[in-house]
Structure formats: C-alpha cells, structure tokens
Amino acid sequence: MNGRKYLWDKMLFAFVLLLAAFVLLGSPLFEVREIVVTGNRQLPAAKIVELSGIVPGTNIFKQNLKEAQGRICTLPLVKEVVICRDFPSRIVINVRERQPLALLPTPGGFVQVDREGVCLQEGGVNDSFPVITGFPVSPLAPGEVVRDERLRATLQVVDRFPETLLKELSEVHINGQGQLVLYTLEGVECRLGNASNLEQKLALLQQILRQVRDRRIAYIDLSGVPVVKYAR
C-alpha cells in the first residue's frame, strides 16, 4: 500500500511539474517585453541587443542566456557581460566595456588599445590618449591582441599613470634600454628613466608641472637626481 501511495505521489508531482512548465512556457505573462542594457558607454544599446539574439515577444524561459553572452563577447570593446532574467518579462544585459588606455601607431593608422593590449578600434591623435612609440607595430584589427611582450609590459606601466597625468600627455616613448620619456601636450620632455620607483617619480613630475606651468621648460629629468632645465 505504501509503495502504491509513493508511486502515486511521484506521478502526481511529475504531473504538477509538467503542468507548471506548460503554463510558464505558454503564458503571455512571461513573454519578453523589455530588454535593458546597462554599463555601456561606447557601444550602442541597440547593437548589443541585436547581437544577443534576444527578441521581444518570445518566452523568457526559452532564451539561451549563455549563448547570448557569447555572441556579445565577440565585440572587441566588451570585456565581460552578464545577462539575467528579471521576472516576469524583462531581460537585463549588464556590459563591462574595455577602456582605451593609449594609441599605437600602425602602418594603417592609429588604433586604440586597452591595458591588456587588446585592439579596440581605430583612433586618431585627437583622441585624449597618449601615443606609445619606440616599438614597431604590425597592423592590428579590432579584437586582436598585441603580441610584443615589451609593448604589453609598457602598457601595464602606463596603466599605473594617474588619470590626471595621462590627460596631459601626448606621447610615451620607450627606448631600446627600457627608458621612459614622456611628452606633454605643451611639448615638455620628461625623462623618467626605468620603471623603478614609478609612483614617486610620477607624483614628483605632477608637482613640478604644476609649479612651472607658466615657464618655458627644455626638459625635466627624473631618471636620477631630479633636474629641471629651463629653456632660454
């Protein structure tokens, strides 16, 4: 008797599950009515939604969110994406974009790259990012990664620069000995030497630039004993 009751309970439970699934998959209450994109600053929301493949009017349970995430992640500017269901009828796509750090001069023109060396899109000298020079760079397409390890190491060094200083720079040059030379938008040459004690050098450089803003400078040398050479 107990065995029959147990079997009956299992069958009833399975029936209830099937009925619930039928109701959920067929009910207009769970049709996607709104798709919200958050976190995007450079990419249009419409492009992200289109690439996701999620269509309004379809059942929210039938959406393959993992596949949608994979499609969106093919965009070079996307670093990470999370998609979730907001019941009963909304899909939320949260995007984390890659942030441009610098420009690289290539045979085909300038390209924007992030701190990991991922090529994001074409750029120009009018962009508010410094140009990194001192390395030969092959043509790069959006989504490609810089292969030169020295250049990738330089990008990680530049990523440690304060944002306020980056906005004042037009060029970051590294020579064959790994010595960093910065050039401000006003054309001031700033010799940092190697990347040792970088934070202290950058803090001192910012202080000097603030103090001598109205004076003509030939160069600032912080590779050893700090020297400020004024132009005649």
pLDDT tens sequence across 171-228: 999 988 889 999 999 899 999 999 899 999 999 999 999 888 777 888 999 999 999 9
Question: Where residue 151 sits, what CATH number does that domain have?
Answer: 3.40.50.10960
SS3 157: helix
Asked if residue 119 and residue 205 are part of one domain, the reply reads: yes
Residue ending a domain, choose from 48, 65, 97:
97
116 in the same domain as 93: no
| Domains: count for the chain | 2
Q: Are residues 69 and 119 in the same domain?
A: no
Q: Which domain holds residue 61?
A: 30-97
- Same domain, yes or no: 82 and 124: no
pLDDT of residue 138: 86
SS3 71: helix
Report pTM.
0.79
Where residue 42 sits, what CATH number does that domain have? 3.10.20.310
